[in-house]
Amino acid sequence: MDKNSIMTTRELAEYIKLNEKTVLKMANDGKIPGVKIGNQWRFRLETIDNYLQNDIVKSSDNELDLIIKTAKNIIPLSRFSGLDYIKIDSQAKTANEVLSELAEIAYDQGITESRDKLLKELEKRERMLSTAIGNQIAVPHLRHPSPEIFKTQKMIMIRTCQGIDFSAPDNQLVRIFFMICAPNEFIHLRLLAKIAKLLKSDDVIKRLISSASKDKVLQVFMEFDRECMFSNKE
């Protein structure tokens, strides 16, 4: 589907996997972007995808916590990462090169069985709308998380030696890339929410950019996890 496609209420409901009546109510309440022509709503695909991405990224800490929390213990973000999933000296100079490196790491670490299929899906998602969120950060991910692509849930991080034009909303070059690897929507949303919460701190972003080693990067994740655990006990 082309990013400039215009969808009806029914088509949007199918696209975002919600009941048509729910989508109609959200549109009438101004909770989802659309244009009403007569008595019919129409929705632009690019605008909807931008809304879905930014809705989580821009959520408040409390709203993010509601997405992250479950009845079971919260799995620390550092558990989804590790030294083998972090690269801080990428020589990538283009968007396609960094996506290729992300897919290569996922394949080498056994997260996916098909590097080419993963890369194709990542490129397809970026053609629809950039996953750059601003402040030198991008969060590449699949439009529809699937166990056919990812065998397990992980988070891969790449830091490039130079900024890359990734069509960021603030027009800044991107240096930090977090790839969400999730076999289903539930885990995908939890990971996206945790990353969004982590990146709300300018100090964290500065440390991720300046860290001299992968161990230092992992330490940032671990300190974040400790802060979250402490706040949840209060």
Q: Give the model's confidence band at 59: pLDDT under 50 very low, under 70 low, under 90 confident, else very high.
A: low
Q: What's this model's pTM, rounded to 2 decimal places?
A: 0.73
C-alpha to C-alpha distances, 94 to 60, 123, 162, nearest whole angstrom:
32, 12, 10
Helix (H) / strand (E) element for 190: namely: helix 185-198
C-alpha to C-alpha distances, 146 to 37, 137, 185, nearest whole angstrom:
36, 24, 8
C-alpha to C-alpha distances, 159 to 29, 46, 122, nearest whole angstrom:
40, 27, 18
In DSSP terms, 174 is beta-bridged to 164
- Angle (CA) 206-95-59 rounded to 5° is 50
- Angle (CA) 140-141-145 rounded to 5° is 175
Asked whether 80 and 191 are in contact (CB, 8 A), the reply is: yes
The domain 6-58 having CATH identifier 1.10.1660: the answer here is yes
Which sequence spans correspond to the domains of the chain? 6-58, 66-233
| pLDDT digits 0-9 by tens, 173-224 | 999 999 999 887 767 777 787 788 888 888 999 999 999 999 999 999 999 8
| pLDDT digits 0-9 by tens, 7-19 | 899 988 877 667 8
Q: Give the model's confidence band at 63: pLDDT under 50 very low, under 70 low, under 90 confident, else very high.
A: very low
Q: Which two tokens stand for residue 49?
A: 């995808």
Topology of domain 66-233, CATH = Mannitol-specific EII; Chain A (3.40.930)
